[in-house]
Amino acid sequence: MDTPSPVDVAVSTALDKERTATDIESIKRAFLNNLFYVQGKPVSLATQHDYYMALAYLVRDRMLHRWNGTAESYTQHRARTVCYLSAEFLMGPHLGNNLINMGIYEPVRQAMEELGLNFDTLLAQEEEPGLGNGGLGRLAACYLDSLASLEVPSVGYGIRYEFGIFEQDLRDGWQVERTDKWLRYGNPWEVVRPEWSVEVKLGGYTETYTDDQDRYRVRWVPDREVLGVPYDTPILGYQVNTANTLRLWKAEAIESFDFAVFNQGNYYGAVEQKVASENISKVLYPNDEKTAGKQLRLEQQFFFVSCSLQDMFRILKGQGMAVEQFHEKFAIQLNDTHPAIAAPELMRLLLDEHGLDWSLAWEITQKTLAYTNHTLLPEALEKWPVSLFGQLLPRHLQIIYEINNRFLDLVRMKFPKDAARLARMSLIDESGDRYVRMANLACVSSHTINGVAALHSELLKETVLRDFYELFPEKFCNKTNGVTPRRWMVLSNPRLSTLITSRIGDRWIKHLDELKAIEPLADDAGFRAEWRAIKQSVKRELAGRIHRQHGILVDPASLFDVQVKRIHEYKRQHLNVLHIVTLYSQLKQNPSLDITPRTFIFSGKAAPGYHMAKLMIKLVTAVGDMVNRDPDLRNQLKVIFLPNYNVTNSQRIYPASDLSEQISTAGFEASGTGNMKFAMNGALTIGTLDGANVEIRDAVGAENFFLFGLTAPEVVALKADGYDPYSYYQRHPMLKDAIDLIASGHFSHGDGDLFKPLLDKLLYHDPFMLLADYQAYIDCQETVGRAYSDADSWTRMAILNSVRMGSFSSDRSIAEYCSDIWKVNPFPVGLVDYGEIGG
Ligand code: C3B
């Protein structure tokens, strides 16, 4: 506990205890006060959203004590700080999570209910900040939760997109995109800090000069500048005083008016510059699209990286530390290559702005940066045309050339006369049009490179980063992904969490390994009955929602077979559809066939420009339209596509799932994190040996996991042998039958052309080898169906899945990053006692 200074004491008497107290009466008073004075509404005119805002401000008030204390403490002690640089943070709604982490969920719920309000309706008012595409952005959010919960000083740096990931509607079964106006009604969780705005240069040219010590220097003369304005959101750890910061940058014009242009009477011309500047943080790019050549995307990356690095220099200086200590104060993690421009930008700041020489600047840069790779897909490896790069960032291109010169000399030394290797490893791709290779840049500039699951990290060393592994084997390591049990169990599955806590106490929430203590209860019939009753009630809730929103009746007793994630060919939602069509066809041929009734649930967005993925959505909905209406099936099969998959919706789906579909082609899914959320909530997995599935299966036991399909080496070998998908079609009658049925137009009102692009790709190319895995998948699904019909044994397996998932907490991942990569220790925050606080 810090000793209070006179100011602290003065503050403590000035601070309003009404803003920290957490007893029910105080919460009610604060709530009504906020409604009146902050939201500006009398109760008679208030909407549910007004109530939500009043509640959110009440919660924020109660976080500020910790947030301010944390900031003060880190500053005083110059704490070593992790800076997580990420173009995406998919945070999900804040309110419920903050209540959980602060430990005041129950008193607040009770206070709202006593005021006659429906607490769940209030929670549902929040527009979630959808500032990410999928797994990568959500991982960043889980990591911020764990960093704060483990009391590690850290800042998440990113972009405050005005429009996050688009909202998905379905029209006639096709995806339609709508813009996400998440800021429309205001964001109660952020605080703008205009006093810490920074200027970011773009374009122009460079020139050389000699400084007053007669040293040769370079100066960047930009042709544009924009202002980066930080918006801070507190990230509260679970039941600790630590509240770290998520700092997102908004782009603004430096001057609202270009006065030179304005004075010539060109009013609209003057406003144009303002509009152009603000475009930089306007919209999140939906991934899976070719980004090369998209200048605005490169501008976004440079913008947030430059803002963040300049912010770090400000903090360093504010704490009286020298520029040479940059790497002692900060550990920077590059979340994929999106922020890899940090390497030349940090070099530029050290060289040009702070006057360091090259070798010292390079040493500091390498000691600061570490890089996480999240994908082996070649199309996702970022590269920028050299011409575009040079126009936007002329100084950075020079620095990259210099890094490259020195680096290639190193390669020459270690591997003499190996021109092909030099060409592959160069930071510049010169095989055709010239490109800057961001993954190569990240590898060369970082002290550590990690993949996100054991298999993925091995494949990185063998394939896309093989040359770098051969040069720098000591840089490579694995950090298997994890997810936060606070959001993915406590918040989204309260009944299951309460059951667990009733048996082993609540330490598991911070030490997920301790779930192991539940294991013996898997053999306790009473416990299994309680577990099953909870699963059933959560399934009933989801069924009710599906009925209300989509008018489809599903049976909560049926097997909920769920695939939720981005729509992509490698994730193979269409393999799942082939199984459905096979079941459908079997039932049509033999209506008395005894199968396990199933409800197939799909959800996920397709990138707007990814036509095949959009066609996959249409295939799911078209099959669903037919299956759901056919009386011959006697309601044994239902197929639902839930629109607009996001964090909010996913929290309702994972707890209600029986079967988790993790069926990517082996070697293509880097890790997956949804696979972990399902298993923690007691769903069994049907999956390939891909990504973290491998480790999940090891953890939960092979006998509690439905494995099928080719392994990663088998996929490679079969391709090398000359894979012929058509021969599988000819050899497997059920496969042929399913494909022929789709091709006949049975699911498309007789239109045999609709799904032809998809079917032709499968029959004649099939890059993700659905046809090779089809029979194994069908057989495995049959095993699943049989297993489900023994409810008691199924529940036993479900319990074992959940309680053996301890090592997939993001707390474990973050603890490993801290000790192996960042070399940073927890820094517990003691709070000055401003009065009564706490839960
Ligand atoms: C994803 C990968 O596709 C997942 O396998 C992985 O679990 C997550 O990252 C988190 O590591 N990913 C993504 O969402 N976006 C990318 N551009 C690349 C990978």
Please work out whether the CB of residue 374 comes within 6 Å of at least one atom of ligand 1.
Answer: yes
**Which residues is 217 bridged to in the sheet?**
209
Which two structure tokens, joined as six digits, stand for 653? 């789906």
Q: What is the Å distance from ligand 1's center to 133 Cα?
A: 9
Q: Which helix (H) or strand (E) holds 727?
A: helix 725-731
Of 247, 475, 566, 796, which one is the catalytic site residue? 566
Please work out whether the CB of residue 676 comes within 6 Å of at least one atom of ligand 1.
Answer: no
Q: What is the Å distance from ligand 1's center to 669 Cα?
A: 8
pLDDT at 270: 73
Please work out whether the CB of residue 141 comes within 6 Å of at least one atom of ligand 1.
Answer: no
Q: What is the Å distance from ligand 1's center to 34 Cα?
A: 40
Is 638 labeled as catalytic in the residue annotation?
no
Of 65, 396, 437, 565, which one is the catalytic site residue? 565
Ligand 1 atom nearest to 134, measured from its CA: 14
Please work out whether the CB of residue 270 comes within 6 Å of at least one atom of ligand 1.
Answer: no
CA distance 472 to 461: 10
321-374 pLDDT, tens digit each: 999 999 999 999 999 999 999 999 999 999 999 999 999 999 999 999 999 999
Residue type, 250: K
Is 447 labeled as catalytic in the residue annotation?
no
Please work out whether the CB of residue 134 comes within 6 Å of at least one atom of ligand 1.
Answer: yes
Q: What is the Å distance from ligand 1's center to 135 Cα?
A: 5
Which of 90, 136, 568, 668, when mutated, tests ligand 1's pocket best, judged by the most ligand atoms within 8 Å of its CB?
A: 136
Query: Per-residue DSSP letters for 580-594?
Result: HHHHHHHHHH-TT--
Q: At what angle do helices 525-550 and 791-803 cross, to 10 degrees?
A: 90
Please work out whether the CB of residue 132 comes within 6 Å of at least one atom of ligand 1.
Answer: no
Of 66, 535, 571, 746, which one is the catalytic site residue? 571
pLDDT at 266: 78
CA distance 159 to 131: 8
pTM of the entire structure?
0.97
Of 574, 614, 677, 697, which one is the catalytic site residue? 677
Ligand 1 atom nearest to 287, measured from its CA: 17
Please work out whether the CB of residue 672 comes within 6 Å of at least one atom of ligand 1.
Answer: yes
Q: Whose CA is nearest to atom 7 of ligand 1?
A: 672
| CB neighbour class for 290 (10 Å; exposed up to 12, middle 13-18, buried from 19) | exposed
Which of 334, 375, 676, 677, when mutated, tests ligand 1's pocket best, judged by the most ligand atoms within 8 Å of its CB?
A: 375
769: left (phi over 0), alpha (psi -120 to 50) or beta: left
- State the DSSP code for 426: S
| CB neighbour class for 681 (10 Å; exposed up to 12, middle 13-18, buried from 19) | buried
- Cβ neighbours of residue 454 under 8 Å, at least 6 residues apart? 478, 480, 692, 694, 695
pLDDT at 836: 42
Q: What is the Å distance from ligand 1's center to 168 Cα?
A: 20
Please work out whether the CB of residue 481 comes within 6 Å of at least one atom of ligand 1.
Answer: yes
Cα→Cα distances 839→22, 29, 552, Å: 6, 17, 42
Of the candidates 639, 600, 642, which has an alpha carbon nearest to the alpha carbon of residue 623?
A: 639
Q: What is the Å distance from ligand 1's center to 136 Cα?
A: 4
Please work out whether the CB of residue 287 comes within 6 Å of at least one atom of ligand 1.
Answer: yes
ipTM over 0.90: yes
Ligand 1 atom nearest to 377, measured from its CA: 18
CA distance 177 to 613: 14
Beta strands in 318-446 (DSSP E): 330-335, 369-372, 383-385, 428-429, 435-437
153-207 pLDDT, tens digit each: 999 999 999 999 999 999 999 999 999 999 999 999 999 999 999 999 999 999 9
Please work out whether the CB of residue 91 comes within 6 Å of at least one atom of ligand 1.
Answer: no
Q: How far is it between the farthest Cα atoms of the chain?
A: 92
Ligand 1 atom nearest to 138, measured from its CA: 10
Which two structure tokens, joined as six digits, stand for 28? 């009610």
Q: What is the Å distance from ligand 1's center to 375 Cα?
A: 6
- Sorted by where each starts, the structural domains of the chain and their CATH numbers stand as 23-77+93-127 (no CATH), 78-92+128-478 (3.40.50.2000), 559-805 (3.40.50.2000)
Please work out whether the CB of residue 380 comes within 6 Å of at least one atom of ligand 1.
Answer: yes
Q: Which helix (H) or strand (E) holds 618?
A: helix 611-629
Q: Whose CA is nearest to atom 10 of ligand 1?
A: 136
pLDDT at 838: 42
**3-state secondary structure (DSSP) of residue 197:** coil
Q: Whose CA is nearest to atom 19 of ligand 1?
A: 374
Query: Per-residue DSSP letters for 392-418?
Result: H-HHHHHHHHHHHHHHHHHHHHHSTT-
Of 372, 648, 665, 673, which one is the catalytic site residue? 673
pLDDT at 265: 75
Neighbour count for residue 793 (Cβ, 10 Å)? 12
Ligand 1 atom nearest to 452, measured from its CA: 11
Q: What is the Å distance from ligand 1's center to 272 Cα?
A: 37
Please work out whether the CB of residue 136 comes within 6 Å of at least one atom of ligand 1.
Answer: yes
Cα→Cα distances 550→146, 171, 467, 543, 827, Å: 36, 13, 52, 10, 49
Cα→Cα distances 482→474, 655, 705, 810, 811, Å: 24, 17, 19, 4, 7
Please work out whether the CB of residue 691 comes within 6 Å of at least one atom of ligand 1.
Answer: yes
Is 406 labeled as catalytic in the residue annotation?
no
pLDDT at 568: 97
- State the DSSP code for 199: E
Which two structure tokens, joined as six digits, stand for 760? 């032709």
Is 374 labeled as catalytic in the residue annotation?
yes
Q: Whose CA is nearest to atom 13 of ligand 1?
A: 136
Beta strands in 551-687 (DSSP E): 559-564, 598-603, 637-642, 659-662, 684-687
Q: What is the Å distance from ligand 1's center to 701 Cα?
A: 25
Cα→Cα distances 313→247, 354, 357, 405, 770, Å: 15, 10, 17, 28, 51
Which of 138, 374, 675, when mutated, tests ligand 1's pocket best, judged by the most ligand atoms within 8 Å of its CB?
A: 374
Please work out whether the CB of residue 139 comes within 6 Å of at least one atom of ligand 1.
Answer: yes
CA distance 400 to 795: 56
Please work out whether the CB of residue 142 comes within 6 Å of at least one atom of ligand 1.
Answer: no
CA distance 374 to 382: 12
**Which residues is 175 bridged to in the sheet?**
170
Q: Whose CA is nearest to atom 9 of ligand 1?
A: 136
Q: Whose CA is nearest to atom 4 of ligand 1?
A: 672
Q: What is the Å distance from ligand 1's center to 443 Cα?
A: 18
Task: For the chain, list residues with pLDDT below 50.
Answer: 1, 834-839
| CB neighbour class for 335 (10 Å; exposed up to 12, middle 13-18, buried from 19) | buried
Q: Are 164 and 180 in contact (CB under 8 A)?
A: yes
